[in-house]
């Protein structure tokens, strides 16, 4: 499992943050669902001195998304 600190974003707005484990290493452009919300990995940033990486996810906008 790969540990991440994530930011879910809608445009420039950060709508959620937290910790997330994924069964494989994620890369820019990968689709991912966190907390029931679908998005696309915008960037993966190593965090010096920590096992976790910072995961920036741009939420997929749908007609029924808040």
pTM of the model: 0.86
Does residue 6 surpass a pLDDT of 90?
yes
User: 12-39 in b/e burial notation, b at 16+ Cβ within 10 A?
Assistant: eeeeeeeebeeeeebeeeeebebeebeb
For the chain, domain boundaries: 2-47
pLDDT one-digit tens code per residue, 10-40: 999 999 999 999 999 999 999 999 989 999 9
Q: Kindly indicate the confidence band of residue 61, based on its pLDDT and cuts at 50, 70 and 90.
A: confident
The mean pLDDT value of the chain amounts to 91
């Amino acid at each position: 499992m790969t540990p991440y600190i994530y930011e879910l974003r809608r445009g420039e707005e950060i709508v959620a943050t937290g910790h997330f484990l994924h069964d494989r290493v994620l890369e820019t452009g990968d689709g991912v669902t966190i907390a029931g919300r679908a998005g696309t990995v915008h960037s993966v940033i190593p965090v010096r001195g920590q096992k976790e990486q910072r995961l920036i996810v741009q939420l997929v906008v749908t007609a029924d998304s808040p």
